Amino acid sequence: MRALITDTEMADPDIERKLLEAAGFEVTVGHCKTEADVIACAQGMDALLVTYAPVTAAVFAACPSVRMISRHGIGVDSIDTDAALEHGVWVSNVPDYGYDEVPTHAISLLFSLLRHITFHDRQVRSGVWNFAQTGRIDRIADMTLGIVGLGRLGRFTMELCRPFFKHVAAFDPFLPDDKWPAGVEKCSLEEVFQKANAISLHLPLNADTRHIVNQQLLSCIPERGAYLVNTSRGGLTDLDAVLAALDSGRLRGVGLDVLPVEPPAPDHPILHHPRAIVTPHAAFYSTESVLDLRHKFAVNVVAWKREGVAPNAVVRGHVAATA
């Protein structure tokens, strides 16, 4: 069987290659950035291991040999899952890596905003030594924390932050009442933005959530303002609306680990806004989490070949693996 690593940020995907070759795969490493690149490289391949390369309906139509796709991470928005289902192709992700890293990165951004750490640092480096220069700082113990999405990472972020806040309000339309965490107020999305002083996003990106943080939602924030953190997917936010809310004071600060286009243009206004903290899609990263991710990314494909069923299936294919 043949496997294509469509694209990778690793200088040498040796971990993935060794696991796949030990399972009997012939492995090719590509540098695919476009739909056309994937179609050209994926001819005759049984499995694709994808980081950022787009796997569209056209790819599935042009590459009928592909029966399994493993996504390097949690989100599968770069893969047309409806087309995968139509063609009977398995799609798996890696949902259980970075369990410590993403929540701790989110709360690091959150507390840096709430205590103006980065804002103070910029002022001091510019020659200003004044604790009040960055504006009003409120007591965290009097604040309401807002969590949008109570999946694995959102819930852990909430649990880590909860002792510091007076109240927690959350939105998750898919979490049943019997699984709802005790003491957390169940709210609509608009209510979270109305009530919370600090909001952390933990949603997948799909047609329903793209630009879910838009001008209309941000207008729900009261005049006192709120802080916003996003460590999930850049497409959740309409950056123009976010910038307008920053300028108006409706947003008192934002911490963004993800952006709609990565990397952003060097002159993008979000990179130069004094109330924004931007990190380079690093929330997932530690030495240990990357090793864990790379291993599980390849094992999805190995297990599918050996057992005919892919672990962590986001789409269950109807075509079994054959040796």
Residues classed as catalytic: 233, 262, 281
| Sheet of strand 313-315, all strands in order from the earlier edge strand to the far edge | 26-29, 2-5, 47-50, 68-71, 90-92, 313-315
- The verdict on whether omega for the bond into residue 181 sits within 30 degrees of 0, i.e. cis, is no
Q: What is the spatial distance between Cα 274 and Cα 253, in angstroms, rounded to a whole number?
A: 9
C-alpha distance from residue 126 to each of 130, 134, 180, 246 (Å): 11, 13, 46, 21
Which structure tokens are listed for 228?
Answer: 């916003």
Structure tokens at 177: 């009442």
Residue that has been written with the tokens 């709609």 in this structure = 260
> Contact 226/199 with Cβ under 8 angstroms?
yes
The CA–CA distances, whole Å, from 105 to 118, 231, 282 equal 14, 8, 8
